[in-house]
């Protein structure tokens, strides 16, 4: 196996620092540095970018990002056991890696990053979707990031890139495709991880568009598609009752038959509905 840096193999790092994987933290580690370098390459040209990484763990993807030439990496890790292993990487790449111990859901990384910024992560499954939705739904656009390169369970990755009418089409597809281009760039079998999870995984690459495909308020759109797909088998006039008593009027004004089901409705029509609701 080709060396990507002068640091010890990840299996040694894990053994030396006794990093037995914790299920509660969604820990499934990547140990093949050629694979982590390949994932890092999917993030695009990193040379002039700061990279935000969530959950570096023993540092496999972190080392991939640095070996692929990232200007700086800011890594946010919740598990303090990983910090000594990450400190060895910081020492090998002086001034290029900053590690923050903490919960990515609570930390604001922006004060430590300089644009342009890309995000790359083998996300902990328990917080991955929550983080993605946050990154996709800021009030203002473009967001702080240029691109997101994220590992998910394959099932979640397929929901992000799903087209209208498909069973997997829902809130994640709409929010991702509203203001970004999203595609699956790699698939990984369970054996790529230690310990092996029960499911396949996939890397999704999202590029932020300059402006949204259709105008809408992020909070209203997010609430509407959340409610619509929460009861996806119901007609929209029933599923969206929670949004307000005038929902049938809003649906008609947006050109959506109130008897339609959510998975038949296009992104453009959902954005029109969000505008109608915001106007009222
Ligand atoms: N990046 C490493 C790799 O590819 O081998 C580890 C990936 S592992 C799937 C997820 C990592 O996220 C773990 O190191 C875990 O401790 C960390 N983690 C879990 N929840 C977190 C949170 N809320 N904030 C930051 N890190 C978290």
Nearest CA to ligand 1 atom 12: 55
Task: Measure the CA–CA gap between 268 and 216, rounded to whole angstroms.
Answer: 10
**Token pair listed for 50:** 């700061």
Q: Kindly report, residue by residue over 224-246, the tens digit of the pLDDT.
A: 999 999 999 999 999 999 999 99
Q: Rounded to the nearest whole angstrom, what is the distance from the C-alpha of residue 147 to the centroid of ligand 1?
A: 19
Ligand 1 centroid to Cα of residue 27, in Å, is 6
Q: Which numbered atom of ligand 1 lies nearest the CA of 55? A: 12
3-state secondary structure of 175: helix
How many domains, the chain? 2
pTM assigned to the model: 0.96
pLDDT the model gives residue 66:
98
- CA angle 205–275–138, rounded 5-degree value: 40
At residue 280, the pLDDT reads: 86
The ranges of the chain with pLDDT < 50 are none
Please give the Cα distance from 272 to 133 (Å, whole number): 20
Which range marks the domain in which residue 227 is found? 218-279
Mutate to test the pocket of ligand 1, among 28, 43, 57 (most ligand atoms within 8 A of CB): 57
Instruction: Tell me, using a 6 A CB cutoff, whether residue 128 lines ligand 1.
Output: no
* CB-ligand 1 contact for 160 (6 Å cutoff): no
Let me know if residue 2 belongs to a domain.
no
CB 124 less than 6 A from any atom of ligand 1: yes
Which CATH number covers residue 271? 1.10.8.100
CA separation for the pair 254, 280 (Å, rounded): 13
CATH number of the domain within which 106 lies: 3.40.50.150
Q: What's the pLDDT score for residue 164?
A: 86
Q: Are residues 202 and 241 in the same domain?
A: no
Q: Residue 123 Cα, ligand 1 centroid: separation in angstroms?
A: 6
Task: Report pLDDT for 2.
Answer: 56
Alpha helix (H) residue ranges in the chain: 10-16, 33-42, 60-67, 83-92, 125-136, 154-161, 171-179, 218-230, 236-239, 247-253, 267-279
Is the separation of the CB atoms in 147 and 119 below 8 Å? yes
* Of the candidates 76, 114, 20, 110, the residue with the CA atom closest to the CA atom of residue 86: 76
In a shared domain, residues 181 and 244: no
């Amino acid at each position: 196996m080709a060396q990507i840096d002068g640091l010890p193999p990840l299996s040694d790092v894990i053994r030396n620092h006794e990093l037995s994987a914790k299920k509660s933290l969604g820990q499934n580690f990547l140990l093949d540095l050629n694979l982590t370098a390949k994932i890092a390459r999917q993030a695009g040209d990193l040379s002039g970018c700061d990279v935000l990484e969530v959950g570096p763990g023993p540092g496999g993807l972190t080392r991939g990002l640095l070996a692929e030439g990232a200007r700086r990496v800011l890594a946010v890790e919740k598990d303090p056991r990983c910090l000594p292993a990450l400190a060895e990487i910081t020492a090998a790449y002086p001034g290029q890696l900053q590690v923050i111990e903490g919960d990515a859901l609570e930390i604001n990384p922006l004060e430590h990053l300089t644009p342009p910024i890309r995000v790359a992560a083998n996300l902990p499954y328990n917080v991955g979707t929550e983080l993605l939705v946050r990154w996709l739904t800021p009030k203002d656009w473009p967001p702080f990031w240029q691109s997101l390169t994220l590992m998910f369970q394959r099932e979640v990755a397929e929901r992000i890139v799903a087209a209208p009418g498909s069973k997997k089409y829902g809130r994640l597809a709409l929010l991702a495709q509203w203001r970004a281009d999203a595609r699956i760039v790699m698939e990984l079998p369970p054996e790529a991880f230690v310990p092996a999870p029960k499911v396949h995984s996939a890397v999704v690459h999202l590029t932020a568009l300059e402006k949204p495909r259709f105008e809408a308020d992020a909070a209203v759109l997010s609430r509407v598609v959340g409610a619509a797909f929460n009861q996806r088998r119901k007609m929209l006039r029933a599923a969206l009752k929670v949004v307000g008593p005038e929902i049938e009027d809003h649906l008609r004004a947006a050109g959506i038959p109130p008897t339609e089901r959510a998975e038949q409705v296009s992104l453009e029509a959902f954005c029109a509905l969000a505008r109608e609701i915001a106007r009222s």
